[in-house]
Amino acid sequence: MLNVNRIGLGAMRLTGAPAWLSRDEGVAVARRAVELGVQFFDTADSYDLGRNEELLADALHPYGDGVMVATKCGRICVGGEWFDLGRPEYLRQQAELSLRRLRVDCLELLQLHRIDPTVPLAEQVGALRRLQDEGKVRRVGLSEVTVGQLREAEAITEIASVQNRYNMEDRASEEVLDYCESRGIAFIPWRPVAPSADKAAALAWLLRRSPVMLPIPGTSSMRHLEENMSALDAHRTVV
């Protein structure tokens, strides 16, 4: 188990479109995030063809005490279009590449980016469980799942986190959040701030909504990063 401060950083905007930061700019934002108290960084093997993971390693490795870089596998982006790809051999391949890019022997948290509807859920989660058994993955998480899918996955391995879209205006995952709270599973809302919302107020609302809430607002701006972190309270959540 690892305790982390309750606002993380969604790292997607640190490389590639739409911000097109230079490497030095992306590294500076990631390092500033640590200075401001961010301990949880969310990336994916598919973000900018792996370059997002590489940038976080350039910025943060060797990772300090309490800093967790979580990554995801099971999705690809081709020509701006996203596709789910949950074949077990692909998930293993991407996990191995993430290990290399993040410069670690074990991924602290590997999340299934999406459930591929063409592959049985048990085979996808089973692939991640085998990586756990081999010591290459410490914790397993899921993204965009229902309570039923979450329960099915829990029968295969302990689920540490769920990453569903959720914010003040989009509460379709309310039932999933309640289930996560009852089970002590970290709930990581992606797109935590609705377009029309005040960022600091929206993040503060999320933190009050549930003790397992771990928002990961993304930014490529130092100013926005500092504004986001102003909502951080003294509580911590276990992931």
| Both structure tokens of 212 | 């397992």
Containing 208, the helix (H) or strand (E) segment is helix 199-209
What are the φ and ψ backbone dihedral angles of 86, each rounded to 5 degrees?
Answer: -110, 20
User: Angle, to 10 degrees, between the axis of helix 147-154 and the axis of helix 121-133?
Assistant: 40
Q: Is the peptide bond before 192 cis (omega within 30 degrees of 0)?
A: no
Name the E strands within 74-202: 75-78, 81-84, 107-112, 137-143, 159-163, 186-187
Q: Which residues are catalytic?
A: 47
